[in-house]
Amino acid sequence: MPGDSQLRTYRNERDYPFCPGCGHSLVLNHLNTALVKLGVDPHRIALVTDIGCQGLADQYFVANAFHGLHGRSLAYATGIKLVDPDLKVFVLIGDGGTGIGGAHLLNAARRNVGMTVLVMNNFNFGMTGGEHSVTTPPGGVTVTTRKGNLERPLDICATVAVNGAGYVWRGTAFDRELPDVIVEASNSESFALLDIWELCTAYYVPNNDFSRKSLLEMRERLGMPVGLLHREDRPEYARAVREANALLLGKPALPANPLPALFTSPLKEEFRFVVAGSAGGKVRSAARVLGEAAILSGLFAAQQDDYPVTVQTGHSISELIFSPNLIHFTGVTRPDALVLATEEGRKASARYLKALTAESWLFTTPEFANMDTPARKVVVDLDAMGIKGGRKNLAWLLSVYALNQLGIISAEACEEAARRGQRAEVAEEMIAGLRRVVGGEKAACA
């Protein structure tokens, strides 16, 4: 890798494509001067641009270039920095890109991703014919605000400053200190934004009788100050993320969790076991432990869940299939056993309840003791068994009771699965409950 650069210019041989008098040429010359002052190896510079006249800018420099879609430069620059935090990244965007990329602007500032953003702000869209932008001043005439702009202009500097940018400056393309400002901004190693006001000689200037003098008057009129507006010393995000992650380096990533066949099961054919309860009632986690218990018993298992988009409310249903053979289709249309834990579960179980036959089993609570069903109904009364506080683990307790009664999976396998798959205190609670319910009094069988 070449060392620091002694380049006398970072411009290549290509001529700028901008209109006579356009501010972009001035800003890019200032950028070139700044790059020479910085003396960074051009291999270690990335110029990120998107759409608009200034989006062409990367093509006139000897440096890496990333030219993308309108308004997304800040997201690209974030991706680049996250991979290579030591790169010098310059983002060249216009007022148009600032507007359409507003969400990225807020978030790059908020994160303080180390990049120097040059907003080449000429108050309208030049490339597409002079439409208004988020920075068009009040009363500004453009082809889309013919009677004068009614929208309040975005104060880009105040916006990023209040959201955590490390370096914020405002001025014009005519400011002679701009190269030094760019150097200082880049050396701040923070999210640095320069709002550089310019003349668009093709549109904004002729449509508004606008001039270099107007730029100075406008800052008074809009109450937008100039110069260095904000400095803040915060950790640069790309480096901070890497530091925060460093502790994890080298730990095994997502290792397999093999489940040896420590137990046996007498199951000879596929058995479909549906657990219907409430969201927040640990239905899915209980089902997962049962599936793991089945595998520990030498079976194949499958689990497919159904739940609404809400979180701690509504139904939660897990369909489990246990089989001595490979399971191809994970759906369950007719359960061999349905565990009905709660009213929310019942409401969402109509199709299972309808499919039950005299061969099926229904395990439920006294709440549903009178339910009309052709299935063999087993009412499990936890209170009568002297099990207090069973409601929060109801799905688990009813399920292990059912599997124990059906003789498909042993209580020992369920205990082992809980121990392997759950946090110690959770496993302990599950195992304690299991032992009480399995050793408890016989449930009523209707």
Partner 1 sequence: MREFIDGATAIARGALDAGATFFAGYPISPATPILLHMIRELPKVGGLAIQGEDEIASISMCVAAAMTGARAFTATSGPGMSLYSETIGLSIMGEVPLVIVDVQRLGPATGGATTPGQGDVQFARWGNSGGYPIIALAPGNVYECYSLTRVAFDLAEKHRCPVFLLTDKELFQALTTADVDRFEAPPVRERVVAEALPAGTHGLRAEETTIPYRAPAPDAAPAYAPIGGPHIVRFTGSTHDEHGFLTKDPVKVGKLNERLRRKIEDHAAELEMATSTTAPGAQTAFVSYGVTTGAMEEAYRIACAEGRAVSTLAVQSLWPVPENAILQFVKPGDGEAVVCRIVVAELNHGDFRREVERVVYRWCAQARVVPPEIVGINRVDGELITPAQFLEQIVGG
Residues 62-81 that bind partner 1 (CB under 8 A): 62-69, 72, 75-80
Binding string to partner 1 for residues 4 to 43, with x set by CB under 8 A, is what?
--------xx----------------------------xx
Residue 178 CB neighbours (<10 A): 23
Q: Give me the least distance between CB of 190 and partner 1, in Å please.
A: 18
311 binds partner 1 (CB under 8 A): no
In angstroms, the Cα distances linking 130 to 56, 70, 75, 149, 204 are: 17, 16, 26, 13, 7
Is the separation of the CB atoms in 50 and 120 below 8 Å? no
Amino acid found at 222: L
For partner 1, which residue of 29, 38, 44, 219 counts as binding (CB under 8 A)?
44
Q: Which of 306, 381, 412, 429 binds partner 1 (CB under 8 A)?
A: 306
Report d(CA 81, CA 417) in Å as an integer: 44
* Residue from the set 46, 53, 154, 215 that interacts with partner 1 by CB under 8 A: 46
Q: Mind giving me the DSSP string for 283-332?
A: HHHHHHHHHHHHHHTT-EEEEEEE--S-SSSSEEEEEEEEESS-------
By C-beta, is 174 or 300 nearer to partner 1? 300
CB-wise, 48 or 196, nearer to partner 1? Answer: 48
Nearest residue (CB) to partner 1, 79 versus 366: 79
313 binds partner 1 (CB under 8 A): no
Size, binding site for partner 1 by CB under 8 A: 73
347 contacts partner 1 (rule: CB under 8 A): no
For the bound state, the minimum distance from the C-beta of residue 437 to partner 1, rounded and expressed in Å, comes to: 23
Secondary structure class of 216 (helix, strand, coil) = helix
Comparing CB distances to partner 1, the nearer of 75 and 224 is 75
> Do 63 and 35 form a contact (C-beta atoms < 8 A)?
yes
Pick 87 or 356: Cβ nearer partner 1:
87
Burial of 108 (0-12, 13-18, 19+ CB in 10 A): buried
Distance CA 65, CA 162 (A): 30
Closest CA to 270 of 352, 330, 339: 330
| Closer residue to partner 1 (CB): 76 or 123 | 76
Per CB under 8 A, contacts with partner 1 among 177-206 are none
**Minimum CB separation from partner 1 for residue 310, in Å?**
10
One of 150, 333, 369, 374 touching partner 1 (CB under 8 A):
333
Phi, psi of 317 (to 5 degrees): -125, 135
Helix (H, G, I), strand (E, B) or coil at 227: strand
| Structure-token pair, residue 270 | 């596929």
What is residue 122's three-state secondary structure? coil
Task: Please tell me the distance from the alpha carbon of residue 373 to that of residue 48, in angstroms, as a whole number.
Answer: 68
Maximum alpha-carbon separation in the chain: 94
Under the binding rule (CB under 8 A), the answer on residue 58 touching partner 1 is yes
Site string for partner 1, 225-264 (x = CB under 8 A): ----------------xx--xx-xxxxxxx-xxxxxx---
Nearer to partner 1, 48 or 414 (CB): 48
Query: Angle, nearest 10°, between helix axes 23-38 and 178-187?
Result: 50
Stretches 211-219, 221-229, 330-338, 403-411: which one binds partner 1 (CB under 8 A)? 330-338
How far apart (Å, rounded) are the C-alpha atoms in residues 114 and 82? 10
Q: Answer yes or no whether residue 330 interacts with partner 1 by CB under 8 A.
A: yes
* Phi, psi (deg, nearest 5) at residue 273: -125, 115
Q: Which stretch binds partner 1 (CB under 8 A): 28-36, 52-60, 145-153, 161-169?
A: 52-60
- The interface mask with partner 1, positions 90-119, x = CB under 8 A, is -------------xx-xx------------
**87 belongs to the binding site for partner 1 (CB under 8 A):** yes
Residues numbered 284 to 303 that lie near partner 1 (CB under 8 A) are: 288, 291-292, 295, 299-303
